[in-house]
Amino acid sequence: MEPLDRLDKQSILEEKVFEELFSQEDEIKKARLMVALEDRASELGVKTKFNTVLRAYKKVDKEMQKKQSSAPSILDNWTNFDGPYDRMYCGSWIASDEGVYSQNTGTADILACRHPIIPIERLKNLETGDEQMKIAYKRKGKWFEVIVPKDILSSANKVTSLYRRGISVTSENARCLVKYLQDIEDLNDEHINIQYSTSKLGWIMNGFVPYDKEVLFDGDAQFRQVFESIQGHGSKAAWYAYVKNLRKTGRLEIKFMLAASFASVLLHIVSGLPFFVDLWGETEGGKSVTLALAASVWANPEENAYIKDYKGTAVGLEVACDLLNHLPLMLDDTSKKDRRIEENFEGLVYDLCSGKGKTRSNKELGIVQEKHWKNVILTNGERPLNSYVTQGGAINRILELECGKDVYQDPQETIRFIRDNYGFAGKDFVDTIKRLGKDKIRQIQQELQRQIYDDEKMQKQSASLSIVLTADRIVTDYLFQDGEYIDIESAKEVLIDRNELSDNERCYQYILGEVVINGAKFDPITQTSEKWGVIEDGYAIIYNNAFDAICKKGGFSKKAFLSWADKKGLIQTQGGQLTKVKKLGGNPVRCVFIKLDDTIDSEGFRVIDDTQEKLPFS
């Protein structure tokens, strides 16, 4: 600018004078120059004209500043968090280590969150198609990550639930935080990675969760304990050496339960159905230690880590199976059953061995995603599991193994060891399965099934046993390399004969037992308040309604039994009906005429073989 004393009436009003005045960045220098120009205009007699032009420039300058404040610079439009995460475009949001705010023209900035927070990854569930978002947030200089369902992030009412995870969100800033997170996702859609995820373990796509990292586990927080228990801990070499020594003892209980644990991940490959393997016997025989040993193949065998019990509900066990998917479900002590489970234990066996949960609706009356699994259920107790069920179909899904005495020389030492060393063999087995391939696995299983085939045995049980023996063959050859195979003939002892398993055969034996136990109810001389009929000519002649009650009490189908008994020649019929009229007490009554076996006499008593050695005192 020219010296002030050289400015005249025309030049002081020129545009370049005002442009130079308003280009001053130092506000103090700008004010001093403005006062000096006003004094010079007054000396020249053009102060009124000068002030008119000056007011116009002030107005334009104010509008320019207003536009600049409402349109931040390029640098201000990006997140500016100190940490490992890439910057993301955030539009009009201010996002720095001081927190996240919404820029609001003319008023104070609105708080979204008092600390850094940013969405970093989308997780798409392979089973449901639902998406979750991985959120990173910083508190006291440290970054944390949390996986959150997107329906929570979309609702101001629900997002406040993140407060318990350490995120500063209340009802006051919830709405603004929801908008910020959604804006970041929308503005950076092409740059936020999509990670496929699953809430299930086992074979997923071409990998195995949790060992393969291509698919991420996104299960609920309540399942984290189980998921995190599945890892290697301690010494791999020590575990193999210790378990080899246990296998060398020759105890079938150890080798069979270990093989059943490994076998669980083979069901998916050989298209097998879920089944139970039950180790039963007297207390302190080593049942719980053996179950813990089987668990150490995959995970931490501590109580409440991987191993569960029957104290939950049937729905809870369905959820556990759905989570484990192909990994074995392990339930300790059948005596600790919830009352509702005990009342319908047979139904539980059918449900878990069906491999899928019941169809249920949610509160919006939509169908909940159906749960499904293919695994082996390992359990133990003082009584055989099949003593809790009556139907042959349920028993056919159970492999029973009796636990003898003193399985371990020092059970406490075994427990201590496997709690310090676990979780390695499962991954080794999965890697071995991948190398062998499906065709080789199926070939081994089919060969073993032919070896144990017996027309007198139930084929579902035989198929289940062949899968256990397949796992034993593989781990013996490739993992332990000790030649300690399960003896096939010993293993076949767990199979049940068809006649033993037949519902109708068992019903027949049950009815005969009821006849013996309630002999007084068939005796015309004995005075009782209740009569069931009479015994004549080798037949128990039972009132129809009494027979109904016997079948109902035993959990058997009267119609199915009578049809089978007729074909076997065990009942007398009349006029095309499976019952026959009998005159009792002078009145004709329709009864079931059921043939007694040779061990029951005409009075309903069991005949005892009296051929015995002569007693020394007789």
Give the Cα separation of 81 and 338 in Å (integer).
52
Q: At a CB cut-off of 8 Å and minimum separation 6, what does 93 contact?
A: 100, 101, 102, 103, 112, 180, 183, 184
CA distances from 291 to 35, 175, 433 (A): 93, 50, 23
- Do 158 and 152 form a contact (C-beta atoms < 8 A)? yes
- Residue 279: strand, helix, or coil: strand
- Do 177 and 112 form a contact (C-beta atoms < 8 A)? yes
Give the Cα separation of 533 and 99 in Å (integer).
87
Residues forming a β-bridge with 571 = 594
- Token pair recorded at residue 113: 């969150």
Burial class (CB in 10 A: 0-12, 13-18, 19+), 293: buried
CA distances from 327 to 330, 374, 418, 426, 428 (A): 10, 8, 19, 9, 14
CATH number of 229-498: 3.40.50
Give the Cα separation of 320 and 304 in Å (integer).
13
Helix (H) or strand (E) holding 195: strand 193-198
Please write down the HEC assignment for all residues of 580-612. Answer: EEEEECCEEEEEEEEECCCCECCCCCECCCCCC
Helix (H) or strand (E) holding 438: helix 438-451
pLDDT tens per residue across span 161-220: 999 999 999 999 999 999 999 999 999 998 899 999 898 999 998 899 999 988 888 877
pLDDT of residue 1: 63
> Can you give the pTM of this predicted structure?
0.68
Taking residue 85's Cβ as centre, other Cβ atoms within 10 Å add up to 16
Burial class (CB in 10 A: 0-12, 13-18, 19+), 362: exposed
- Beta strands 193-198; 117-125: pairing state: parallel
pLDDT mean by block of 10 residues, the chain; 618 residues: 79 84 81 85 86 84 64 64 92 92 71 95 89 94 93 94 94 95 93 90 91 84 84 97 96 97 97 94 87 97 88 86 95 78 80 82 57 94 81 82 92 96 97 96 95 74 95 98 95 78 81 91 85 92 94 87 91 93 89 84 54 46
- Token pair recorded at residue 500: 């033993």
Instruction: Provide the residue count of the chain.
Output: 618
- Token pair recorded at residue 9: 């009436």
- Do 432 and 418 form a contact (C-beta atoms < 8 A)? no
Q: At a CB cut-off of 8 Å and minimum separation 6, what does 321 contact?
A: 274, 329, 352, 357, 371, 373, 375, 377
Give the Cα separation of 43 and 9 in Å (integer).
10
pLDDT of residue 74: 40
Dihedral of alpha carbons 207, 208, 213, 217, sign = positive
Give the Cα separation of 183 and 102 in Å (integer).
11
- Token pair recorded at residue 3: 């010296």
- Residue 13: strand, helix, or coil: helix
pLDDT tens per residue across span 374-402: 999 999 998 888 777 767 677 889 999 99
Helix (H) or strand (E) holding 36: helix 27-44
Nearest CA-CA partner of 132 in 218, 224, 222, 221: 218
- Residue 571: strand, helix, or coil: strand
CA distances from 597 to 323, 569, 574 (A): 50, 12, 22
CA distances from 228 to 423, 431, 501 (A): 11, 20, 41
Give the Cα separation of 210 and 192 in Å (integer).
23
Map out the domains of the chain as residue ranges: 4-70, 75-198, 229-498, 502-595
Taking residue 59's Cβ as centre, other Cβ atoms within 10 Å add up to 10
Nearest CA-CA partner of 374 in 264, 242, 222, 229: 264
Nearest CA-CA partner of 122 in 190, 178, 180, 177: 190
- Token pair recorded at residue 428: 């080794």
- Do 32 and 40 form a contact (C-beta atoms < 8 A)? no
Give the Cα separation of 463 and 449 in Å (integer).
6
> What DSSP letter does each residue of 386-420 carry, written as one string?
GGG---HHHHTTEEEEE--S-S-S-HHHHHHHHHH
Strand order in the sheet with 131-139: 142-149, 131-139, 117-125, 193-198, 216-217
